Structure 1
Amino acid sequence: MHSSDLKKLKIAIVGAGYGGAAAAKALSLLGAQVDVYEQASRIREVGAGIGLRPATMNRFRQWGTFDAIVDVSSPSEYFEILTAGAEPIMKEAWPAAEGQTRTHLIHRGDFIDALLGVLPDGMVHLGHKLERVQDLGDRSRLTFAGGRTVAADLVVGADGIKSVVREQLFSPAQPVFSGEHAYRAVISADAAHGMVTDDNLRMYIGRGTKVYLLPLRHRGQVSFDITALCPDGTWAPEVTKDDLMATVEGFDERLVSITRDLDMSTVNIRAVYDIDPIDTWHSDSVVLVGDAAHSMLHHQGQGANSAIEDAGALADALRDAASLPAALARYQATRKPVTDELQRISRQGWTEAEIDDVFPGQKPAATAPKE
């Protein structure tokens, strides 16, 4: 699109998570008028650590935000997979991308703070819970709780796995339960029982359980994550310390000790969900990014990375295509095959035999329970 047309473009982004904040930065650099509407009254990202891949870091360099991310992250040269008893299985360097070879390990909270911190004051509007989105063809209208309405040439649905934009305009499909729980905590590096000696991600795999140690050296901390098979699809399940201890039975005693030492009030506990691939991500004036378009399981560590790549691809398409509808079609054609494959691969976390071995005769619920 011509730069003059881009400067006239009014864009409303629903959601101020990874995808929304990244899209706001990328699209505002085109000269468009961008506003972000977030339902929370304050931004507070829970959870633990993630890895930002080399290709993602290249996007940040392109947008002039590389240093802001580097300042609150730790560079990793490789990742390693080990048995439950800490015997090495494989070690691989991160896939390089245009000169970048390191994955940067970062706390989720630091990441969203860094993304939002590079946006202009006044761009993000908190306390806006979306109730209705209307596609009017060449523009769209948003209606928020309390009655406020906003019209925009382009609405970007970045409102996550329970996306209102997706459900009202593109697909009624609900989140799908994976048959797993994720237990995540951030602990002091001193509490890791000597298991963290460098900045590299390690995953220990055993019967029905995967344990991740993700160093956050810039914080003097470690992200300690357990993913365990469980048939309970309650969105926010109640789990005891004994339950956690049972998931790491037979693991290296140091991992068992880390689990035993956890303060349960600091552990983020959730059932793990994704969505089935959806056929259409856009109309002529509405488009989906991130988890709203393709929420995926965390086994490949690609959720946040995919959201950032979506934002970059959307900005590229708007810059290069002849019109807004053509740009949105190009964006979907570029990104959907990639994320469809990542969704497929990420679901290959466990075999049917392993699932039957851990909870025989029990079948996990297929979709999210009603709240």
Structure 2
Amino acid sequence: MKATDLQNLNIAIIGAGYGGAASAKALSLLGATVNVYEQASKIGEVGAGIGLRPSTMDRFRQWGSFEAIAAVSSPSDTFEILTADNNPIMEEAWPGINDFEVETKTHLIHRGDFIDALIGVLPEGMVHLGHKLIEIQDQGATSVLTFANGTVVEADLVIGADGIKSVVRKALFGDNQPVFSGEHAYRAVISMEEAADMINDDNLRMFIGRGTKVYLLPLRHRNQLSFDITALCPDSTWAPEVSKEQLLATVAGFDERIVAMARNLDMDTVSIRAVYDINPVDSWHTDSVVIMGDAAHAMLHHQGQGANSAIMDAGALADALLEADSVAEALALFQATRKPVTDELQRISRSGWSEDELNEVFPGQKPASQSKVEV
């Protein structure tokens, strides 16, 4: 689109998470008027650590946000996969480190620090808290948004970055309900001292047991460790109650130092969630509305690509607006560019367990997300 067209573009982004905040930065740099509407009354992100891949960090470099992210993260060279009792299976460099003009490593970061850094580089007043979307009317060239607080907004482009339970997706693109994976995720952040001698660098380690995976993700810039456990479990309660004894049972047979870390956890500090994704969404856009991130392609966390995919969506959307002649053409180009990639990531992320493991926990059946899905 021409610079004058982009400067006259009024964009409303629903959701101030990773994808929404990154889109706000990328699109505001094009000269568009951007407003972000977030239903929460304050910005916050629970959970633990994630890895931002080189391609993601390169986007931040393009947007002038690299230093803000780097200041609250640790650069990582490799990831390692080990058996439950700490015998090496493989170690590889993060892919893409040398794909750019400047060596660009994966950066390990706490989710809270990440969202704070993303929001921190946006102009003051761009993010509007306490705005829960209750209705969207797609009028073709524009759309009208109605929020629970009575605010009504009209925009030339609406971006639904409102997560796995997206209101925008349900209203316009199909009621793809969250699908239970058959897994629980237990996440905590502990001090580096509690990691015994298991961590002496900035590299991610995954330990594979039967029906359980343990991830140790160093946050050495914080002197902390992200301690994450993913375990097969038939309980689909969104936020299940899990006892210390149940948690310890999931890591039985792991290296004694991992068991000790679990035993020493304060359960009040552990984020406990059943794990969900969605089936692929057939269409992501109309002529003036588009969904992205988890709203378009929520995926399981086995590949560590959820947040990265949202950032890459933001970059691809900005690129499409620059390349196309109109908003409608840009949204079609965005979907054509990103959907094949995220469809494949969704498919791969659902193949994280062996048939024997699944049959052990789900005798005679599979959780819906582990069944074959055509994409």
Q: Shorter-chain-normalised TM-score: which range? A: over 0.9
Structure 1 match to 2:332:
329
Structure 1 match to 2:373:
none
1:254 lines up with 2:265 in the alignment: no
1:284 lines up with 2:287 in the alignment: yes
The amino acid that maps onto 2:94 is W
Measure how far apart 1:320 and its partner are: 1.1
The 3-state SS of whatever aligns with 1:218 is coil
1:108 lines up with 2:111 in the alignment: yes
C-alpha deviations, 1:123-170, integer Å up to 9, x for none?
Answer: 000000010111100000111003211000000000000000000100
2-structure distance, mates of 1:326, 1:363? 40
Which residue, 265, 270, 292 being the options, matches 2:268? 265
Structure 1 match to 2:215:
212
**Kept in 2: contact 1:95–1:101 (CA 8 A):** no
2-structure distance, mates of 1:52, 1:234? 29
Structure 1 residues 45-60: aligned runs within 5 Å: 45-60=45-60
- What is the TM-score of this pair, normalised by structure 2? 0.96
The amino acid that maps onto 2:290 is V
Structure 1 match to 2:311:
308
**Kept in 2: contact 1:176–1:366 (CA 8 A):** yes
Measure how far apart 1:100 and its partner are: 3.5
Structure 2 match to 1:6:
6
Equivalenced residue count is: 367
- What is the TM-score of this pair, normalised by structure 1? 0.97
Which residue, 117, 128, 133 being the options, matches 1:130? 133
1-structure distance, mates of 2:139, 2:47? 38
Measure how far apart 1:171 and its partner are: 1.1
Structure 1 residues 161-172: aligned runs within 5 Å: 161-172=164-175
**Kept in 1: contact 2:38–2:130 (CA 8 A):** yes
Measure how far apart 1:203 and its partner are: 0.2
2-structure distance, mates of 1:340, 1:318? 22
Measure how far apart 1:207 and its partner are: 0.5
2-structure distance, mates of 1:95, 1:360? 37
Measure how far apart 1:118 and its partner are: 0.2
C-alpha deviations, 1:300-341, integer Å up to 9, x for none?
Answer: 000000000000000000011111111110000000000000
The amino acid that maps onto 1:356 is N
Measure how far apart 1:359 and its partner are: 4.6
C-alpha deviations, 1:83-113, integer Å up to 9, x for none?
Answer: 0000000000011131444110000000000
Structure 2 match to 1:81:
81
Measure how far apart 1:352 and its partner are: 2.5
1:27 lines up with 2:27 in the alignment: yes
The amino acid that maps onto 1:182 is A
2-structure distance, mates of 1:354, 1:139? 49
Which residue, 223, 226, 239 being the options, matches 1:223? 226
C-alpha deviations, 1:181-212, integer Å up to 9, x for none?
Answer: 00000000001121111000000000100000
Structure 1 match to 2:346:
343
Measure how far apart 1:364 and its partner are: 4.2
What 5-or-longer segments of structure 1 have no aligned partner? none
Measure how far apart 1:41 and its partner are: 0.1
The amino acid that maps onto 1:9 is L
**Kept in 1: contact 2:277–2:369 (CA 8 A):** no
**Kept in 2: contact 1:233–1:364 (CA 8 A):** no
The amino acid that maps onto 1:304 is A
1-structure distance, mates of 2:337, 2:268? 42
- Percent of pairs with identical residues: 74
The amino acid that maps onto 2:272 is I
Structure 2 match to 1:173:
176
Structure 1 match to 2:160:
157
